[in-house]
Structure 1
């Protein structure tokens, strides 16, 4: 007797290797573009904002909270800059992957239009992820994966404040694969950051001297070489695009799996 029950359709794979391979292929193929988009505004920020603030700081070892205001200012401006760059690079990565070119102008417009939702939802997503990590690491990773494509949803679909729900919908069934991608990228960024810290920072700042009192902490900011700001900007420009390109490609792949079409079809929302 013939079995007339249809076989269940096999679930399409996200393809961790495909996403990572596509990420690095796109990254190195267009490296000058991605690097420049981050480096130019970031080095301006470091030289015009961070350096003058550091030069004006007077460190007081007896009062660790003396310069909280300056620290929050730098952190806040850095967050705003990274959010803007995040939106630009995600938009560029999907259009490049779809064979449409970088479309930098469209990427800048999309970043400006979606800036407020990205900022506010980013705070919500960050708090949710932090709570997950405090509970246990695994819930934090799961929440991170659940919210992984909210920025592309804002930039491409103009999802606005419904982008978290859209990300939840798209990532359903693929969150552990996304966790795998995130962990690989975290390790890569950690290695690069560790090398930068070990080779550069420890050769510039005498931390042992600070601890034993032989080095005046007030002299640290003033004695920090100017080129260190440029080098820090270069490291940021080298590492930041990698994870953002990956999120764009994950978004494109999830759209292909769940809604059909190709990466290039995503760009039709702008027509």
Structure 2
């Protein structure tokens, strides 16, 4: 008789995600805020240059829409790279280890950048092919970034992620849907901070357009920084849980979290 396959408890992962989020908030919020301000400022500048340089056409609008989707995927992966390793350390050991995480990020910068470029491209191509292949690809690569940063295997993180997620992609789809709904709720709550902040900035008489633009980007970045870590933390915890299910060796900290 074939033994029953252990389940991936989605509710426990979501609960643990917000436990880790809350305990690591002092790291996640400033790190994501600084990165988001820089990312938004560069994106706005590039968009402005494109808008001023090219004549609007249907094909240009389609290309810009595709580019915007790619940029959003890239942003999500970059944020995931920033939060995954601290989340794993906090989840396993009860502490973040900022210096250890930063050193690992710098050492793995080249494969991390490569992964951040590969995943959006293959995922978007999958979405173009009737949407469903994009969903499948995103689930297959759900834990690629945690694998890369935790196991330091370079681009072998891609087949490793495919192996870890095999037999659990329906559960990961449920996890993705649930965390997306929660993020939408958080985004709605964050809008109560962002909208008054934007209106307040509009009421100020700031003559320098660069400073005014930077302040507006900062308000938007603060709202994004509140919600952006959720996806990366949930991927990190799903990775730890999948590794435990498939390879065993759960730590005492891990067992306590899921009790």
TM-score (norm 1): 0.72
Range 35-44 or range 232-241, more displaced: 35-44
Residue 228 of structure 1 pairs with residue 216 of structure 2: yes
Q: Could you tell me which of 116, 121, 125 is aligned with 2:119?
A: 125
Q: For 2:141 and 2:228, locate their aligned partners in 1 and report how far apart those are by CA, in whole Å.
A: 18
Q: Which runs of 5+ in 1 are unaligned?
A: 1-6, 67-73, 205-220, 267-271
Q: For 1:120 and 1:109, locate their aligned partners in 2 and report how far apart those are by CA, in whole Å.
A: 18
Q: Which runs of 5+ in 2 are unaligned?
A: 61-67, 200-208, 255-259
- Counterpart of 1:207? none
Q: For 1:142 and 1:109, locate their aligned partners in 2 and report how far apart those are by CA, in whole Å.
A: 33
Alpha-carbon spacing, 1:116–1:253, altered in 2? closer, same or farther (3 Å): same
What is the DSSP-based 3-state SS (H/G/I as helix, E as strand, rest coil) of the residue aligned with 1:11? coil
Aligned 8 A contact 1:19 1:246 in 2: yes
Q: For 2:98 and 2:119, locate their aligned partners in 1 and report how far apart those are by CA, in whole Å.
A: 27
Q: For 2:82 and 2:88, locate their aligned partners in 1 and report how far apart those are by CA, in whole Å.
A: 10
Q: Could you tell me which of 25, 32, 42 is aligned with 1:38?
A: 32
Q: Could you tell me which of 175, 178, 202 is aligned with 2:172?
A: 178
Alpha-carbon spacing, 1:246–1:76, altered in 2? closer, same or farther (3 Å): closer
Who wins on radius of gyration, i.e. which is larger? Answer: 1
Q: What whole-Å deviation, never above 9, does each CA across 1:131-163 have from its counterpart, x for those lacking one? A: 322223333222111111111111111110111
Q: Could you tell me which of 122, 130, 138 is aligned with 1:144?
A: 138
TM-score (norm 2): 0.75
Aligned 8 A contact 1:133 1:140 in 2: yes
Aligned 8 A contact 1:83 1:119 in 2: no
Range 177-186 or range 14-23, more displaced: 177-186
Alpha-carbon spacing, 1:147–1:135, altered in 2? closer, same or farther (3 Å): same
Aligned 8 A contact 1:142 1:176 in 2: no
What is the DSSP-based 3-state SS (H/G/I as helix, E as strand, rest coil) of the residue aligned with 1:173? coil
Range 27-36 or range 83-92, more displaced: 83-92
Q: What whole-Å deviation, never above 9, does each CA across 1:116-143 have from its counterpart, x for those lacking one? A: 2222233332222223222233332221
Count of aligned residue pairs for this structure pair: 238
Aligned 8 A contact 1:145 1:175 in 2: yes
